Amino acid sequence: MREGGQPTGLVRRLMRCLVPQGIVDLYHMVRWGNLPYMEIHGMRRESLVEFLDAHGARILDVAEDHSSGEDWVSFRYCVKKEP
């Protein structure tokens, strides 16, 4: 836990694995009503590069990105589809 009672990324991921999806959906409904929310599912960089290669894409640039929050190590990719 962080100072102020906020769970860390590890605690959140562990809770997410243990709590049934129906309870998670109910939590979101109570906290935010009908507002939409977006889930983030991470993947290893090697897996992404392999996927892009397999589908004829070339990575032009990779930049570290913090838009997912402090609990995530994330990157923004610039990719070009090869003919």
Residue 10 pLDDT more than 90? no
Average pLDDT (25-42) is 82
Q: What ranges do the domains of the chain cover?
A: 1-39, 40-83
- In the chain, % helix, strand, coil (3-state, to 5) comes to 40, 20, 40
First-to-last C-alpha distance (Å) of the chain: 49
- Average pLDDT rounded to a whole number, residues 20-29: 86
* Residue range 46-73: mean pLDDT, rounded: 89
- Residue 21 or 71, more confident: 21
Angle formed at CA 50 by CA 68 and CA 57, multiple of 5 degrees: 85
Tokens of 36: 């939409």
**This prediction's pTM:** 0.52
